[in-house]
């Protein structure tokens, strides 16, 4: 029995080396074509919070945005006026349709007058919706051209004065909200690590197994790749992972 417990403890305490890596690496690409106005290369290899790293020329977008705002403001006033016209024409029609002193032709004319005003109002509201959608798209384009990130700025690939096309790689940023450890566990030991606490360098950690790749790794053909996720370590460190 003691020998069995000893062998079991050896299995459970078996350690795996892993490098502390970011949970994800974001490859940021240019959303649209344009000249690079700002490239904050001084932020490379630094942790940042909501910092501008690259700015692509958005001058035309801002002019377009202001024009749209002006059009929207004017159209809203026109809609308010048209709503009053519709209300008035509807009131007139409602009075006419029950008057015996008015001919059917006169009643129909008031009805068509009211419906014409109502249709004009509906068209104006449709125009407003389209303009507001354009405004949202334009504002989104401006935001995308002013690339702000939170994380570790791994690399910025463009410099001020460059001209970029859509899809060109602009920067790589590491997600630092979580950390990832990757280990390779012999297939016959996988069951022994499941549902166990994860110890890092001999201390209990908050790391959990996120995924066990159920096919043998192409490099470590007798092992399964195991990804663990947690936080609290220093990026780039090599740590010892144990399961107890």
Among candidate residues 212, 226, 223, the one with its CA nearest the CA of residue 186: 223
Element of type H or E holding 211: strand 208-216
Q: Are 240 and 14 in contact (CB under 8 A)?
A: no
pTM of this prediction exceeds 0.85? no
Q: In angstroms, what CA-CA distances link 4 with 9, 11, 49, 128?
A: 9, 11, 52, 77
Give the pLDDT score at 219: 74
Mean pLDDT, the chain, as a whole number?
A: 90
CA dist., res. 173 & res. 73, Å (int) = 40
pLDDT in tens, 151-167: 999 999 999 999 999 99
Q: In the structure, what pLDDT confidence band is assigned to residue 14 with cuts at 50, 70 and 90? A: low
The C-alpha angle with vertex 161 and arms to 158 and 167, in degrees rounded to 5, equals 45
CA dist., res. 178 & res. 152, Å (int) = 12
Give the pLDDT score at 8: 40
pLDDT in tens, 81-112: 999 999 999 998 888 787 777 788 888 888 89
CA dist., res. 170 & res. 29, Å (int) = 5
Query: Could you count the other beta carbons within 10 Å of the beta carbon of residue 179?
Result: 21
């Amino acid at each position: 029995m003691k020998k069995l417990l000893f062998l079991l403890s050896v299995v459970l305490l078996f350690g795996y080396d892993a490098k502390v890596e970011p949970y994800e690496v974001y490859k940021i690409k240019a959303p649209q074509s344009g000249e690079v106005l700002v490239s904050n290369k001084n932020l490379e290899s630094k942790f940042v919070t909501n910092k501008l790293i690259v700015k692509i020329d958005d001058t035309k977008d801002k002019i377009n945005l202001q024009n749209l705002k002006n059009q929207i403001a004017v159209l809203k006033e026109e809609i308010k006026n048209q709503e009053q016209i519709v209300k008035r024409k509807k009131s007139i029609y409602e009075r006419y349709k029950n008057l015996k002193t008015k001919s059917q032709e006169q009643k129909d004319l008031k009805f068509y007058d009211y419906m014409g005003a109502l249709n004009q109002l509906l068209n104006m509201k449709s125009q407003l919706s389209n303009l507001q959608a354009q405004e949202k798209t334009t504002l989104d384009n401006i935001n995308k051209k002013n690339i702000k990130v939170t994380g570790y700025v791994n690399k910025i690939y463009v410099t001020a004065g460059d001209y970029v096309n859509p899809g060109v790689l602009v920067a790589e940023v590491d997600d630092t909200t979580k950390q990832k450890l990757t280990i390779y566990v012999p297939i016959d030991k996988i069951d022994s690590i499941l549902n166990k606490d994860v110890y890092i360098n001999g201390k209990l950690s908050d790391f959990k197994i996120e995924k066990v790749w159920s096919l043998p790794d192409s490099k470590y053909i007798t092992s399964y790749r195991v990804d663990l996720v947690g936080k609290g370590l220093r990026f780039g460190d090599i740590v010892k992972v144990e399961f107890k």
